[in-house]
Amino acid sequence: MRSESMKLPLIDLSNLGKDDSPRWESTKIRIREALQEYGCFEATFDQIPLELRKSVGDGIQQLFDLPLAIKQRNISHKPYHGYVGQSAFVPLFESMGIDGALSPHIVDTFTNLMWPQGNPTFSKNIQLYCGKLSELDKIVRKMVVESLGLENYIDEHINSTDYVCRFQKYEAPQTPHSKLGLVPHTDKNIVTTLHQFNHVRGLQILTKDGKNWIPADPTSLNSFVVMLGTSFHAWSNGRLHAPYHRVMVSGDEARYSIGLFANPKEGCVIEAPAELVDGDHPLLYKPFDYFKFVEFFYSDVGRTSPDALKEYCGA
């Protein structure tokens, strides 16, 4: 059931000031509470100029307008890091990715792969955009770790991740009735930050009790949806919720969005800090290698498991 009356918490992360300011302290508590109850929230963040957002949105449309043979050059040995085309399973969904989105060299390489004649404007805009969006991600994660009383883990937590930028297009279904754009799933990473570029809505979040879908429609041009992944859920020893979400689209206009995914670096082991394990909170998951877990999730056994993380590394 979709619940139009329910909304995600809205939290302003613009101009927060010093880390020990009263506003910083109150905001980090609101973020932790939102991630405990919903697994995500809507953030307003005014550090990305409107002109840059518009230019990135135009560039994404140009990217998906390229011939299929060119888009398929975006390959990766990691699942869902390269090009993902429309299929019988998700006929309206198409996606591309840049693994290492904060590296100018990697962004330039991707751009030149798509546009051999060059497209310096696209490359520059994506670099600036991802840099700004990573600032938002780091603010959120620093606040979460602080709110759990684990200040000593902040540097380790922040430095253990890289960023993947993914561009998403949902083809217009040419009907007023909602069609499935992306199947219900949880993200497997640490934190995902999503930005919708046009007015075509569709992202929905499943409530923690599994009874209702909440529309995650942005309330302003400065709005982003910040969502917890299962790896952060495991790191927090279950204190934070990783939500199921989906995309439902309708109408005659395509939906475009971008996601910045904070992923553990290769070889990184996800392990709950000892401070989060006690008699009231027994250890839920054994330490695990993130990419080995992802490989398991996309295996035949992982795909059919009702709880792949628990089956892979449940304590």
Domain of 166, CATH number, reads 2.60.120.330
CA atoms within 13 A on the CB side of 133: 31
Span 301-311, average pLDDT: 90
Q: Report yes or no on 302 lying in a domain.
A: no
What is residue 211's predicted lDDT score, i.e. its pLDDT? 94
- Round to the nearest angstrom and report the end-to-end CA distance of the chain: 33
Q: Report yes or no on 315 lying in a domain.
A: no
Handedness of CA 57, 62, 64, 70 (dihedral sign): negative
Span 220-246, average pLDDT: 95
What is residue 159's predicted lDDT score, i.e. its pLDDT? 94
**19's tokens:** 């880390």
Predicted structure pTM score: 0.94
Span 78-83, average pLDDT: 86
In the numeric block, the tokens 């969904």 are attached to: 93
- CB-neighbour burial class of residue 27 (10 A; exposed 0-12, middle 13-18, buried 19+): buried
DSSP for 63-79, written as a single string: HHTS-HHHHTT---SST
What is residue 2's predicted lDDT score, i.e. its pLDDT? 58
Contact 256, 169 (CB under 8 A): yes
**Whole-number Å distance between alpha carbons of 206 and 213:** 4
What is residue 134's predicted lDDT score, i.e. its pLDDT? 97
What is residue 303's predicted lDDT score, i.e. its pLDDT? 86
Confidence tier at 302 by pLDDT (50, 70, 90) = confident
What is residue 165's predicted lDDT score, i.e. its pLDDT? 97
- Domain extent, residue 185, equals 10-271
What is residue 77's predicted lDDT score, i.e. its pLDDT? 87
What is residue 21's predicted lDDT score, i.e. its pLDDT? 86
What is residue 84's predicted lDDT score, i.e. its pLDDT? 92
Contact 263, 189 (CB under 8 A): yes
Kindly provide the residue ranges of all beta strands, DSSP E only, lying in the chain, ordered along the sequence. Answer: 10-12, 40-44, 93-99, 161-170, 175-185, 191-196, 203-206, 213-215, 223-228, 245-251, 255-264, 269-270, 288-289
Span 213-224, average pLDDT: 89
**Phi, psi angles (nearest 5°) of residue 218:** -65, 145
- Cα angle for residues 296, 74, 180 (degrees, 5° grid): 65
Q: Report yes or no on 141 lying in a domain.
A: yes
Domain count, the chain: 1
Q: Report yes or no on 291 lying in a domain.
A: no
- Cα angle for residues 297, 298, 301 (degrees, 5° grid): 70
Span 150-172, average pLDDT: 95
What is residue 220's predicted lDDT score, i.e. its pLDDT? 84
Q: Report yes or no on 188 lying in a domain.
A: yes
**Whole-number Å distance between alpha carbons of 19 and 229:** 25
Residue 266: is its pLDDT beyond 70? yes
Residue 49: is its pLDDT beyond 70? yes
**Whole-number Å distance between alpha carbons of 65 and 92:** 15
Q: Report yes or no on 67 lying in a domain.
A: yes
Q: How many CB atoms lie within 10 A of CB 35?
A: 28
What is residue 171's predicted lDDT score, i.e. its pLDDT? 93
Contact 268, 160 (CB under 8 A): yes
What is residue 291's predicted lDDT score, i.e. its pLDDT? 92
Q: What is the DSSP letter of 21?
A: S
Helix (H/G/I), strand (E/B), else coil: 223: strand
Q: Report yes or no on 297 lying in a domain.
A: no
According to DSSP, the β-strands at 40-44 and 10-12 are parallel
Helix (H/G/I), strand (E/B), else coil: 194: strand
**273's tokens:** 């800090």
Confidence tier at 1 by pLDDT (50, 70, 90) = low
According to DSSP, the β-strands at 213-215 and 175-185 are unpaired
pLDDT digits (tens, 9 = 90+) for 4-44: 678 999 999 988 877 778 899 999 999 999 999 999 999 99
Q: Report yes or no on 308 lying in a domain.
A: no
Contact 31, 143 (CB under 8 A): yes
